[in-house]
Structures are given as structure tokens and as C-alpha cells.
Amino acid sequence: MDRYKVIVPRLNVRKAPVADFKTQNIISQVTQDMILELEPETNIPNPSLGKWLKDSLGQYYWANGLTKLSAAPAAANPPTSTPPAAPTPPAPAPAPTSPSTVSLKGLPTNLPANYQLGVDVSHHNAKPDWAGFVKVGVRFSYIKLSEGVGTPDAKAKENAQNAVSKNIKIGYYHFCRPDARNGGTVVSDATAEANEALNLMKALPKSNLALVMDLEDQASWDTPLKPADYMLWIKTFASIIQTGMNAGPIIYSRKEYLDRKLPKTHTLGNLKLWISYYPAQPNCLKVTIPNGWTDWAIWQFTESGAIGQNPKIDLNILKDNSVFINP
């Protein structure tokens, strides 16, 4: 197969080549500058549309949205006899895939061009191995800031300072508890939580990344709000953060949860998405996202990453650099 680079903002990934672009067989999308390994498809229903290419999974791409880079390395033929022993050359350094070279096993396939590897930590991570993070190429860390109202994370400042000392970019996340407990209404509750998050950040190292709204349930708690009120809560919180940081927040959650909690016709797709999704074989082209969004900005692909002295750690792929607000 040959290597191709996406040259359009978004390129549809299809089940098969189409005779016209009205055919609804889109599986997903890839974004500009992604690198793919593809081969030509000979069975083309309408040659006037141009050529088509396919990947190893049998997914198809319109060739006019791609430019050819170079052929992927061919597999070497096995020797017919045992060659003479020769000194083993030193292993080559891994090719750079981001501003800092990433050297970590178990990364997803089909990584976007210029992706960045990140972690997220809270007080639950007793002693994060920041030197270990740097060694494998971690470039950013999201740090738990607070939960609801009146519960700042006890290790937020320590984690932020340690990350900054290792030149790791930082962002903060707030675990939301959407209800009407603070002030008696949905709007007053969301306002109280947003203002608390903004106030807490004033005493911490400056964030490089947009604030994250962590929207999920816990074993002993879930939002009691109905879908319409849940969306109102999120919009209220987001509006206050937008004003306070001059940047809208990112939504973190999983597909099943947001599909269940939000109205089917919600209007939150303008907020960037950090999706939690742990498949057995992570593939950046096969990330399932909630209704109302067309793409993800950050993907948490495992909660059991192995880096340095950390027992286990959440690992993330960032592909949308617009989430950096103070790079």
C-alpha cells in the first residue's frame, strides 16, 4: 500500500465507491493532514467522479481529497538459507509523530498527523510519574479541578505544578453535578458551579487548554435532570465559561451516556468533544461518538495505560489543536 495525506478539511470514509455523492454510505470522516495507507480500487461505478482508494479494513476514500506521499515499506522476503552472522546495528530512533516523539506500545492505529499524547490525573492518582510521562512523549495533561460546588480537588495545584515543571501543557476539568441544589433552579446551579471553577483556576498555574465539563454518572450519583433541563444546565455553564475564559468548554463523556441524557435534537454539537471509548483494538477511524457531534477533538482510548511507575493511567489522543487557548 502507499501513503496518502488528506488535503481537504474533512473527507468521508465510505462503505464502497459511489456513482454519485448523494449515496448515503458514509461510515465516518477523516480530517486534514491525516496520513493513511491505501491502495487503488479498480471496481469504480462512475469513473467520471475520479479514482477511489481503499484501506486494509475495506473502507473507501475519494482520491481527489488525498495526495500521494510515498509507498509504505514492503515486507522483506525470507532468506532461503541462513546468512552469516553480522553485528546487530543500533535500533533507529522512532520517527517523530508529534512535537515530541511518542514511544509507547498499545497506541491506536490510524493516528492523525501531528497528534499529541496526553494523560489525565486527579487525587486518585497517588504519585503520578511525571518523568515517566515525559520519557514516552506525553505532551499534555488534564488535571481535575473540582467537583460540584465546595469540593476542589486536593491535588490540583500539586499536579499542575509538577506538569508545568516538566514542560507538559495543562488543562483543568470540572466534574459536573447538574441538578438544582445550588439556588433552587437549573440556571442558578449551573452558574454556581461555573463560577466556582473560574475562581479556583485563579489560584493555579495558567491553563493551556480549554476547561473541560466532565459529564458522567457515578456508582452512587447521577443527574436527576430531564433531557431539556440537562441541556439548559450545560448551556448555562458553557456560556459563563466562554465569557470568563474567552473560550468555550470541552465536553467529556461517553456516547451511551450523552445519547441517553440529552434530547435527541440537542444543539451542543458546537462544543468540542472529548470522548471516552475503550475498544479492544483502538482505531482512530472507528471511534463511536454521540448523536449531535460529527467528530472528536480528544479521545480517551484506555484507562489502563502503563507508563513508568504509574499503576495505571488514562491515556488520550488529541487531534484538534484549536483546544489550546494559551499554547
**Band of the pLDDT at 79, cuts 50, 70, 90?**
very low
Q: Does residue 88 sit within a domain? A: no
Q: Does residue 77 sit within a domain? A: no
The CB density around residue 197, as the number of other CB atoms within 10 Å, is 26
pLDDT at 101: 67
Q: Residues 275, 287: contact at Cβ < 8 Å? A: yes
Asked whether residue 235 falls in the same domain as residue 156, the answer is: yes
**Band of the pLDDT at 23, cuts 50, 70, 90?**
confident
Asked whether residue 157 falls in the same domain as residue 236, the answer is: yes
Q: Residues 254, 276: contact at Cβ < 8 Å? A: yes
Q: Does residue 110 sit within a domain? A: no
User: 251: domain range?
Assistant: 116-323
Which of these, 173, 294, 177, 179, lies nearest to 226 by C-alpha position? 179
pLDDT at 270: 97
Q: Is the model's pLDDT at 81 over the cut of 60?
A: no
Q: Is the model's pLDDT at 110 over the cut of 50?
A: yes
pLDDT at 215: 99
Quote the distance between the C-alpha of residue 197 and its chain's center. 22
Q: Looking at residue 38, which CATH number applies to its domain?
A: 2.30.30
Q: In whole numbers, what is the pLDDT of the chain averaged over residues?
A: 89
Q: Does residue 294 sit within a domain? A: yes
**Threshold 0.95, pTM exceeds:** no
**DSSP symbol at 101:** -
Asked whether residue 40 falls in the same domain as residue 124, the answer is: no
Give the domain-ending residue among 71, 100, 125: 71
Q: Does residue 260 sit within a domain? A: yes
Asked whether residue 285 falls in the same domain as residue 188, the answer is: yes
Asked whether residue 240 falls in the same domain as residue 151, the answer is: yes
d(CA 208, CA 203): 15
Which of these, 224, 320, 203, lies nearest to 273 by C-alpha position? 320
How many structural domains compose the chain? 2
d(CA 304, CA 313): 5
Q: Residues 6, 36: contact at Cβ < 8 Å? A: yes
pLDDT, tens only, 88-108: 444 433 333 444 468 898 999
Residue that the C-alpha cell 465559561 belongs to: 241
d(CA 31, CA 13): 10
Q: Is the model's pLDDT at 248 over the cut of 50?
A: yes
Q: Does residue 100 sit within a domain? A: no
**Band of the pLDDT at 57, cuts 50, 70, 90?**
confident
Most confident of 35-44, 77-86, 196-205: 196-205
Rounded average pLDDT over 263-272: 98
Q: Looking at residue 191, which CATH number applies to its domain?
A: 3.20.20.80
Q: Does residue 193 sit within a domain? A: yes
- The DSSP annotation for 119-173 comes to EEE-TTSSS--HHHHHHHTEEEEEEEEEESSS-B-TTHHHHHHHHHHTT-EEEEE
Q: Does residue 78 sit within a domain? A: no
